[in-house]
Amino acid sequence: MNRKKKINEALKKKQKKANAKLHRSNKPRYISKAERAKMEAEAQQAAEQAQDASAVEGNAESIDSNKPAE
């Protein structure tokens, strides 16, 4: 009886591992605290650059509108 039980347990264990490999978790990858801070800083910097670029474009448009028509 014990020999049968051991064989069945081994086969079940092997099948369970194979089945687990097929169905990977949809859980998102862990991001460390330092990595999150770095990503946040990059996002903030990109937002500032976008804001600066739009401010420069706004100034250029106002300068163009002040020129007299030829």
Which tens digit of pLDDT belongs to each residue from 36-46? 999 999 999 99
Question: In the chain, what are the domain boundaries?
Answer: 3-53
Distance of CA 2 to the CA centre of its chain: 50
Q: Give CA–CA dist 60/50, Å, rounded.
A: 15
User: pTM for this one?
Assistant: 0.43
Euclidean distance between CA atoms 24 and 70, whole angstroms: 69
Exposure on the CB side of residue 13, measured as CA atoms within 13 A: 6
Distance CA 59, CA 56 (A): 5
Q: Token digits for 29? A: 């990858």
Q: What is the pLDDT of residues 14-65, one digit of tens each?
A: 999 999 988 888 888 999 999 999 999 999 999 999 888 887 777 666 666 6
Residue 1: predicted pLDDT: 82
Contacts of 31 (CB under 8 A, 6+ apart): 39
